[in-house]
Structure 1
């Protein structure tokens, strides 16, 4: 994984392409199960690098040991293009993968990712889903003092009634 991290930190498209050609595994993971594609987002690699990884077989449905999915990481790093790709590929926005039940919508609320929230609402995300502690996305908006996001969720909720 060391070689991957070096290349990803440098956002080295040509180096990554060469590494893949020489047998680099785009599905290699860290000890906790975090994947190359997740590291690429963490290090803010260009979309061309992420596309290259996917084109070379990176598993976009990979989930780490804590249940954090590639989708969750895309929300964290506000990668709307990958989020849309995952939704088109059938990712279920209402099925949390994290062991805590923390959903991508909850993460988007906490990080203030308005475009992601709007996309999830457009895809019919259930704003009432609760995590293992009984909290839903609106609770997180209140807790994080995200008034404009709370208003957005309330408008969606009112529209669904």
Structure 2
């Protein structure tokens, strides 16, 4: 995995391409169980590098021991192109691998990823899904004070059900 980490850290597209051609294992993981693709997202590699990994067999449906998926990471690091690609490849925007029930739309709400939230909603994200504690994406947006997301989710602060909240 050391070679992968060095190549990804430097976002070395040509080096990665060469490494793949030499038989590199795209299913390799780091010490905490993150895949090559997850590491590339964390290193904020260029979209071309990410697509090179995906086109050569990186598992787009992978998730770590905590249930954090490639979709979750694409949202965290603001890769709307990758989010669109994952959806086009069949990723269900309402499916979650997290035990808490935390969804992609909830992640977009927490990070204030308006463009990604729009993509998710256009592709069937259910804004009324609740996590294990009973929170919705709107609750996360309100908690994190993400006004653009609140607007997108049509938050009405004067609604009787919302008057008991601090924000």
Matches within 5 A, 1:11-160: 11-154=11-154
| Farther off after superposition, 118-127 or 27-36 | 27-36
Unaligned 5+ residue runs, structure 2? 156-167
The one-character-per-residue Cα deviations of 1:88-145 (angstroms, maximum 9, x if unpaired) are: 1111111111121111111111111000001111112101111111111010011111
| More helix by percentage | 1
CA–CA separation in structure 2 for the residues paired with 1:14 and 1:136:
42
For the aligned residue pairs, the C-alpha RMSD in angstroms reads: 1.2
CA positional deviation for 1:2 = 1.4
CA positional deviation for 1:63 = 1.2
Unaligned 5+ residue runs, structure 1? 156-161
Larger Rg: 2
Question: Structure 2 length normalisation: TM-score?
Answer: 0.88
- SS at the partner of 2:33? coil
CA positional deviation for 1:32 = 3.0
CA–CA separation in structure 1 for the residues paired with 2:120 and 2:93:
7
Aligned residues: 155
CA–CA separation in structure 1 for the residues paired with 2:148 and 2:7:
38
